[in-house]
Every structure is written in C-alpha cells, then in structure tokens.
Structure 1
Amino acid sequence: MHPGDGELHYYRHLVPLLSPHLRCHGLQAPETMSHRGFDTFEARVAAYAEDIRAVQPHGPYLLAGFSFGGYPAYGVAAALEASGEEVRMLALIDTLTVRALNAVAPLTLPPVLQLAKTFEVLDAALEAELAGLSSEGAQWERVAARARERGTVAPHFTGADLKRMWHLAGEILPPQVRTWRVPDVRARLLLFRAEGNPSLDETLGWSQDVPRERIDVVPLPGGHSGAIEPPTVSVLARYLVEKALGQT
C-alpha cells in the first residue's frame, strides 16, 4: 500500500526481494494518475479492497504498508475480513498511529522543509541553501536533488514530482485519516519498528487500538526511511517471506 504521498517508488528495493517467492501487487493512490478521488478514508479503503479482489477474488491475503501505507493496509484488511475473506498477514512497516505521530512529529514546518525532513535530507546547510533561492520551484528542485543523492527517492524524481507529492501528503491523505475510526481486525498485527523511531511506545501507539497480545513487534535497525532501503530491507524482506510462507 502506498505511503502518504500516494507513490510506490519506496518499494523499489523491497519488491525484487519478495517477487521470487511471492506474487506482488502495489496499490498507488489514484490521485497520482487521474482525477479519481475519495471523500473519506473509509471510501478509499473500500475501493482499494475492490481493486484487490479484481486481481485476486479470494484470500488468503498478505497485506503490507510502509509508513502511512499501514493505514490503508489495516483498513483494507478490515474490509476484506468483513466480506468473509481471510487476511493471513497484516504487516505495518514503521507506521505510527495518528495520535503517536502527532505527539512526536507534528506538521509545523513549511511544505518544502517538511518533505526534506521526510526524505531525511533536512539539515542546517540545506535550510541555508533554500533560504537563498528566489523561487519555490528552485527550492523543490534542490530538495529533490539532495534526496536523489541520499537515495531516499527514485533517481527520476524532480522538484515538480515532490511538489505534487506534497499535495497528497500534506493536503489529502493524512488529513483524511485523522478522522478515521480504527476498526477491529481478526488478523494479528505484524509491526516492524525502526529502532530510530522517536516513539516511546514499542507498539508505535497501536496497543491503544489492538490488544497488545495480538501485536508482534519486530525491531529493524536504523531510521524510518532506512527500514525499506539497503541494507535493512534485506532483513525486512527475509522476515516477510518467512512469515508469509509460514516458516516463522
């Protein structure tokens, strides 16, 4: 499931490690490709569940989402279960609940700086560079260049791509989920937590919505973006494959 900007490029290192063992499909937010959209998060996950069933009519299903992508993964799991299907795996990769996220990382920065922080390139030097640029477009391009150098975005991403991503990440997707009531699911919650995550709760807040005994917490070395980047992505992929194939 796509993270908060609606894109799937984050999984470019993970999918090649999964695909020899599992058939993989990605759900990208339709707003990134068309004028299709949803008024509520509930409508979004219902449509995503229909999209999944068009490809695979019946379970068992293996669902995963990185960061914000954990929300649609969880919501789709609930929708599929409500229709009588089995969700064998529900994996959230470093997904904080909305409450936990607001507590540790409130959105107080301007959009350009917020995305720079998201892609782990924000530092004092970059802030100084951005302050010296005369146009917003040039600022987006500089952040994109730094993120490409850092490897936290795909090599083809430009400043225009980042600005479009902010429209979804800052104005559509996270605002939708703030009013979402977390439903019950029968599937166990497989929660991967980056050890560098600032949340003080080992379940990233999910124990307030899911009984603690139904949450399996798996620590991953490094920070948030590093969870799906080399070298940590190999650890993540190995665990997902083993779990999906019933080897753990």
Structure 2
Amino acid sequence: MTASSVGSLVPLRAEGDLTPLHCVHPVSGSPYCYSAMAHQLSTGNPVFGFESPGFDGMSEPAASITELAELHTAALRAARPHGPYQLLGWSLGGVVAYEMARLLAAEGEEVPLLVIVDAALPGTQAVPPDDQMARFFLYDFLGVTPDRAPGIDKALAGLAPGAQPADIFAAVERDGVVPEEFDAEFLAERFALFSAHVRALGRHHLDAVHPGPAILIKAAESVERLLDWSPYVGRLTVHTAPGDHHSVWQGPGLDAISGIVDRALREANQA
C-alpha cells in the first residue's frame, strides 16, 4: 500500500450542515488532538481530521511535506470537490495546512479560513540525532515539554549519550513512565512515523506567499521568533493562547483556541 492510496479523512464531529473545518494532524500523525476543540465549537460546522499515512502501522509515511499536502488535498477534494475550504493545523499540521491552502488557491478554489496553531517555520530548528529525537518523541507522546518531564529524565539517567531509541523506549517502559499498554515495540512503531515527519519538516522550504487570509495562534510560552509567518501570508491575524506547545490544548489554552476558531467560523458563515 502506498501513501497515495490511503484514505485519510476521519470525522471528529460529523453533525452540522455548514462548511466543514478540516484539521491536519501534527507530527504524531493523529488528528484526535483536535477532538476536544471540535466539541467546544458552537457553530454548525462539521469537523474532520486528516490522519497521516503510516499511522495505521501498515502504510509508508509520506516522504515530504509536499507529499503530505498533496495527499490530503486529494482526499479533501474527493470528499468535497469544490470550496470554500476551511483548514486548521497545529505544529507540523500548520505547515501542511498552509501548503494545502496554497495548492487549493492555485487551483482557483476559495480558502476563507486558514488557522495555524503554534507551528514553527520550517528551517528554524535543526533535525536532532536519533537519541535526542527519541526523547523529543516521548515529550510529544506524553504531551509535555522537556522542563516538565522528570519521569522521562529519571528513567533515562543511566543511559549513555547516543543511546539507541530501542534502549530509550525499553527504559521508559521498565520504569512505568508510559501507560502499560504502550510497550517498547509500540513506541518504536510510533517513533518511526514521528521521525519521518520531523525529517520531512527539516527538509521543507517555504518559497511563496499564500494570498488569502490566515490566523496564527501562538502559545504564550513558545519562542516568538520561530513563529513569524508574516512574510508568507498575505493577510495575517495573530492571537496568543495561554500555555506551551502542548498545554495550549488543555484548560485555558483550549478555551482560547476554541473561542478564536468559533468566532472565525461564525464570520465565515456570515460572509
């Protein structure tokens, strides 16, 4: 099975008869991080998510951000042949959603809403070596930042620098850092997809400007210089939500994001 043959759309909130909101998965490949937001929205817009190739554990991950954008755009147009289209993406998903918006606009389609949530610009961060990548994967998998992961740090304290990802995953499984249903083999499978996405993002370059409107939602604790999308969007509106890159999807951060998206959908519905 190739990436291009994989159906990627999943319903997050199927009810509603207005223009759907389509949400692009982050680096994990799963769109279910958007479920809580989807159910907080008060508008009549259905919400769908894109699941990445490779998340099923059988298909191959996409080789590039461009391939992901083309794959998801094809799935979107198969389900909804013509616009308007409304897109949202967090982290890597924000970059993919941006490229999808450019593809759709180039095809003459209307993209009245593009929401980029705390997505660092490609090329602003180096691709780490495998042992650091495995740590970053664990932080992402558990939804924490490096300074808030004492369990991970304690479990890996005895490993030598440059430890293999398999040894890292065995250590966190042994110390009970991850729920028991997620053993080292499962973590290794998810890591393969995570690392493929990180490497794809590291190779990607933004080389044009999206002419349509876009909303950038920054996490208050994120590094601002990594999030300057203004050179690449014709009409950019910027908001800040409380929290860090992961906690922004919880509590006050989630409420803030849901409120911003809710207002944007209402405005689009009235246009």
Structure with greater proportional strand content: 2
Give the corresponding residue for 2:173: 141
Give the corresponding residue for 1:152: none
1:81 aligns with 2:110: no
Q: Which runs of 5+ in 2 are unaligned?
A: 1-23, 160-165
Is the Cα contact below 8 Å between 1:64 and 1:73 reproduced in 2?
yes
Is the Cα contact below 8 Å between 2:30 and 2:55 reproduced in 1?
yes
Give the corresponding residue for 1:235: 256
Deviations 1:179-223 (A, max 9, x none): 33323322222100011002346xx13234335xx2211011111
Give the corresponding residue for 1:128: 154
Is the Cα contact below 8 Å between 2:123 and 2:203 reproduced in 1?
no
Deviations 1:117-175 (A, max 9, x none): 333164455323233589544334368x6466xxxxxx9755544332221221x1222
In 2, the alpha carbon distance for the partners of 1:91 and 1:174 equals 21
1:223 aligns with 2:249: no
SS at match of 1:35: coil
Is the Cα contact below 8 Å between 1:62 and 1:88 reproduced in 2?
yes
Indicate the percent of aligned positions where both proteins have the same amino acid.
Answer: 23
Structure 1's 88 and 166: CA in aligned 2 closer, same or farther, altered over 3 A? Answer: same
Structure 1's 242 and 215: CA in aligned 2 closer, same or farther, altered over 3 A? Answer: same
Task: Choose between structure 1 and 2 for higher RCO, CA contacts under 8 A separated by at least 6 residues.
Answer: 1
In 1, the alpha carbon distance for the partners of 2:181 and 2:128 equals 27
Structure 1's 200 and 24: CA in aligned 2 closer, same or farther, altered over 3 A? Answer: same
Matched to 1:28, the amino acid is E
Q: Which runs of 5+ in 1 are unaligned?
A: 149-154
Is the Cα contact below 8 Å between 2:209 and 2:231 reproduced in 1?
no
TM-score (norm 2): 0.74
Matches for 1:26-175 after TM superposition, within 5 Å = 26-33=49-56, 34-102=58-126, 107=128, 110-118=132-140, 119-120=143-144, 122=146, 123-124=149-150, 126-132=152-158, 135-141=167-173, 146=177, 159-170=184-195, 172-175=196-199
Matched to 1:186, the amino acid is P
Structure 1's 92 and 131: CA in aligned 2 closer, same or farther, altered over 3 A? Answer: same
